[in-house]
Chains A and B, each alone.
Chain A
Amino acid sequence: MRGAQFVDPSALARMGNLELVARTVVDGFINGLHRAPHMGFSLDFAEHRGYEPGDDLRRVDWRVFARTDRYYVKQFEADTNANCVVALDVSTSMRFGTRAISKLDYGRVLAASLLYFSHQQRDRVGLVTFDDRVLEYVPPSARHLEFALYALDRIGDAKPGSLAAPLLTLTERLARRGIVIVISDFYDEPERIAQAVRPLRFSGHDVAVFHVLDPAEIDFPFDEAASFEDLESGDRMPIVPGALQGEYRALVQAHLAELGRLFTDSRIDYALFNTSVPLDHALFHYLATRERMRRVR
Chain B
Amino acid sequence: MSFLAPALLAALAAIAIPIVVHLVQRDRRRVVQFPSLMFLRKIPNQSVKRRAIRHWPLLLLRIAAFALLALAFARPFWPGAGAAAAAGAGREVVLLLDTSHSMAYGGVWARAQAAAKQAVSGLGPADRGTVAFFGSEVEVGVRAASERAALAAAIDRAAPGAGATRYGPALRAAAGLLEASALPRREIILVSDFQKSGWDQAQETTLPPGVSLRTVPVGEATTANASIVSLAFARQEAPGGERITASARIVNRSGTALQNREVSLEVDGHREDTRQVSAAPNGVETVAFAPFTIAGRPARVTARLAADALPVDDAFHAVIAAGGRIPVLIIEAANPGPDASLYLARALAVGNEPGFETAIAPVDRVTAEQVGAASVVILNDTRPPSGAAGRMLEARVRAGMGLLVAAGDRSSWPDDAPDLLPCKPGAPVDRSGTTGGALGFVDYGHPVFDVFAAPRSGDLTAARMFRYRPCAPAQGATVVARFDDGNAALVERRVDAGTVLAWTSSLDSYWNDLALRPVFVPFVHQAMRHLGRYADAKGWRVVGEVVDPAELTRGLGLGSGARGLALGASSDGKAAVTLPHPTVLTPHGNPLDFADPSRTTFTLTEPGFYEVRSEGDKPGEGAAVAVNVSAAESDLTPFNPAELSAAVAGSSEGAAAGAAQPLTPEDDERRQSVWWFLLAAGVVLLAVEAVVAGRFPRIAQG
A239 touching B40 by the CB < 8 A rule? Answer: yes
Contact A251 B37 (CB under 8 A): no
Known pairs A203-B484, A247-B47; A297 contacts B459 (CB<8 A): yes
Contact with A along B438-461 (1 / 0, CB 8 A): 101111100000001001111101
State whether A266 touches B441 (Cβ < 8 A). Answer: yes
B30 touches A227 (CB 8 A): yes
Complex contacts, B459 vs chain A, CB 8 Å: 295-297
Closest chain A residue to B482, Cβ basis:
A202
Q: Does the CB pair A240–B51 fall under 8 Å?
A: yes
- Cβ B36 vs Cβ A204 within 8 A: no
In A77-99, the 8 Å CB interface with B consists of: 93-94, 96
Say if the beta carbon of A55 comes within 8 Å of chain B. Answer: no
Distance of A235 Cα from B462 Cα, bound (Å): 51
Interface pair B39/A248, CB less than 8 Å apart: yes
From B21-29, B187-195, B425-433, the one touching the partner chain is: B21-29
A239 to B28, CA, bound (A): 7
Q: Mark B485-508, 1 if CB is under 8 A from A, else 0.
A: 110000000000000000000000
Q: Kindly state whether residue B38 has any CB partner on chain A within 8 Å.
A: yes
Determine whether the beta carbon of B26 is less than 8 Å from that of A240. Answer: yes
Chain A minimum-CB-distance residue to B31: A227
Q: How far is the CA of A237 from the CA of B41 in the complex (A)?
A: 9
Measured in the bound complex, the distance between the Cα atoms of B461 and A123 in whole Å is 22
Which residue of A204, A217, A252 contacts B440 across the interface (Cβ within 8 Å)? A204
Query: Does A187 belong to the interface (CB within 8 Å)?
Result: yes
Cα A296 to Cα B438 in complex, Å, equals 11
- Nearest B residue to A297 by beta-carbon distance? B459
Interface stretch, picked from B52-60, B105-113, B288-296, B557-565, is B52-60
**Shortest beta-carbon distance from A213 to chain B in Å:** 9
Q: Is B658 an interface residue (CB 8 A)?
A: no
Q: How distant is the Cα of A201 from the Cα of B481 in the complex, in angstroms?
A: 12
Given A227-B28, A232-B35, A296-B484 contact (CB < 8 Å) = no
Contact check, A187 vs B440: say whether CB atoms are below 8 A apart.
no
A-B CB pair tally, cutoff 8 Å:
141
Determine the distance from Cα of A126 to Cα of B528 in the docked complex, in whole angstroms: 44
Complex Cα–Cα for A243 and B455 (A): 49
A47 at the interface (CB under 8 A from B): yes
B42 proximal to A (CB < 8 A): yes
Contacts of B41 in A (CB 8 A): 237
Q: How near does chain B come to A179, taking the closest CB pair, in angstroms? A: 15
Give the residues from 222 to 250 in chain A that come closer than 8 angstroms, CB to CB, to chain B. 222-233, 235-240, 242-244, 247-248
Once the chains bind, are A203 and B33 in contact (CB under 8 Å)? Answer: no
Write out the residue numbers on chain A whose beta carbons fall within 8 Å of the beta carbon of B32.
Answer: 222, 226-229
* B7 lies within 8 A of chain A by Cβ: no
A227 and chain B: residue at smallest CB distance: B31
CB neighbours (8 Å) of B202 from chain A are: none
For residue A105, give the distance in angstroms from its CB to the closest CB of chain B: 14
The answer to whether the Cβ of B591 comes within 8 Å of any Cβ in the partner chain is no
Q: Given known contacts A240-B51, A267-B444, is B36 in contact with A225 (CB within 8 Å)? A: no
B43 at the A interface (CB under 8 A)? yes
Least CB distance, B424 to chain A, in whole angstroms: 21
Nearest residue (CB) in B for A216 is B34
Shortest A167–chain B CB gap in Å is: 14
Cα distance A231–B456 when bound, in Å?
47
Closest Cβ–Cβ distance, residue B41 to chain A (whole Å):
7
Q: Is the CB–CB distance between B39 and A232 below 8 Å?
A: no
The answer to whether the Cβ of B234 comes within 8 Å of any Cβ in the partner chain is: no
User: Are B486 and A243 interface neighbours, CB within 8 A?
Assistant: no
Shortest distance from the beta carbon of B521 to any chain A beta carbon, whole Å: 13
Interface size on A, residues (CB 8 A): 54
The contact of B26 among A52, A225, A230, by CB within 8 Å, is A225
Residues of chain A within 8 A of B47, CB atoms compared: 243-244, 247
On chain B, the residues within 8 Å of A295 by CB distance are 452, 455-459
Q: How far is the CA of A297 from the CA of B452 in the complex (A)?
A: 13
A40 at the interface (CB under 8 A from B): no
A237-B40, A240-B51, A242-B56 are contacts. A228–B34 as well, Cβ < 8 Å?
A: yes
> Which chain B residues border A74 with CB–CB below 8 Å?
none
Q: How far is the CA of A240 from the CA of B30 in the complex (A)?
A: 11
Q: A201-B441, A267-B444 are in contact. Are A231 and B26 (CB under 8 A)?
A: no
User: Known interface pairs A295-B459, A296-B459. Does A187 touch B28 (Cβ–Cβ under 8 Å)?
Assistant: no
Do the beta carbons of A228 and B456 come within 8 Å of each other?
A: no
Shortest Cβ gap from B504 to chain A (Å): 15
Say yes or no for A280: interface residue by CB 8 A criterion.
no
B33, A96: Cβ atoms closer than 8 Å: yes
Out of B30, B440, B452, B456, which one reaches A224, CB within 8 Å?
B30
B35 neighbours in A (Cβ, 8 Å):
93-94, 96, 103, 185, 187, 214, 217, 230-232
- Interface residue tally on B, bucketed by range: 35 or more
- Given A202-B441, A243-B48, verify A226-B31 contact (CB < 8 Å): yes
Of B39, B441, B518, which contacts A251 at CB under 8 A?
B39
Give A94's nearest chain B residue, CB to CB.
Answer: B35
Question: Judging by beta carbons under 8 Å apart, are B39 and A202 in contact?
Answer: no
Whether A240 lies near B54 (C-beta < 8 A) is: yes
**Interface status of A49 (Cβ within 8 A of chain B):** yes
Nearest-Cβ distance from residue B452 to partner chain A, whole angstroms: 7
Instruction: Map CB proximity to B onto A147-182 as digits: 1 under 8 Å, 0 otherwise.
Output: 000000000000000000000000000000000000
Bound CA span A236–B41, Å: 11
* CB of B695 to closest CB in A, whole Å: 12
Among B53, B452, B484, B516, point to the contact of A202 (Cβ < 8 A). Answer: B484
- Does any Cβ of B come within 8 Å of A215's Cβ? no
Contact partner of A244 (CB less than 8 A), chosen from B33, B40, B458, B516, is B40
Tell me the complex Cα distance, A232–B53, Å: 29
Question: Which residues from A are CB-within-8-Å of B486?
Answer: 198-199, 202
- Measured in the bound complex, the distance between the Cα atoms of B35 and A94 in whole Å is 7
Q: When chains A and B are docked, how far (Å) is the Cα of A252 from the Cα of B34? A: 14
Which chain B residues lie closer than 8 Å to A96 at the CB level? 33-35
Determine whether A290 belongs to the interface, using a CB cutoff of 8 Å to chain B. Answer: no
Set B26, B40, B440, B518: member contacting A201, Cβ < 8 A: B440
Rounded to whole angstroms, the CA-CA distance of A223 and B462 in the bound complex is 56
Check B484 against A255 for contact (C-beta < 8 Å): no
Expressed in whole angstroms, the minimum distance between the Cβ of A117 and any Cβ of chain B is 22
Distance (whole angstroms) from the CB of B58 to the closest CB of chain A: 11
Provide the residues of chain B in CB contact with A227, threshold 8 Å.
Answer: 28-32
A14 at the interface (CB under 8 A from B): no
Which residues does chain A contribute within 8 Å of B461, judged by CB atoms? 204, 296
Residues of the A chain whose Cβ atoms lie less than 8 Å from the Cβ of B516: 50, 52
Docked pose: A231 CA to B56 CA in angstroms: 30
Is the Cβ of A224 less than 8 Å from the Cβ of B27?
A: yes
A225 touching B39 by the CB < 8 A rule?
Answer: no
Question: Which B residues touch A50, using CB under 8 A?
Answer: 516
Chain B residues near A204 (CB-CB < 8 A): 438, 440, 461, 484
- Chain B residues closer than 8 Å to A222, beta-carbon distance: 32
Q: For chain A, residues 24 to 68, give those with C-beta under 8 angstroms from any C-beta of chain B.
A: 46-47, 49-50, 52
Report A205-216 CB contacts with B as 1/0, cut-off 8 Å: 000000000100
Of B29, B33, B52, B484, which one neighbours A240 at CB under 8 angstroms?
B52
Q: Is A2 an interface residue (CB 8 A)?
A: no
Known contacts A202-B485, A225-B27, A295-B459: A231-B440 contact under CB 8 Å: no
Q: In the complex the two chains form, what is the Cα distance from A295 to B51 in whole Å?
A: 53
What residues of B have a CB within 8 angstroms of the CB of A232 in the complex?
A: 35-36
* Contacting residues, chain A, for B27 (C-beta < 8 A): 224-226
**What residue in chain B is nearest A199 (Cβ atoms)?**
B486
The 13 listed contacts between A and B (C-beta, < 8 Å) are A96-B34, A188-B38, A202-B484, A214-B35, A225-B30, A225-B52, A237-B37, A240-B51, A242-B56, A248-B39, A295-B456, A295-B459, A297-B459
Question: Which 4 pairs across A and B sit closest by C-beta, in order of nearness?
Answer: A226-B30, A243-B51, A93-B35, A187-B36
Interface residues of A (CB under 8 A from B): 46-47, 49-50, 52, 93-94, 96, 103, 185, 187-188, 198-199, 201-204, 214, 217, 222-233, 235-240, 242-244, 247-248, 251-252, 255, 265-267, 292, 294-297
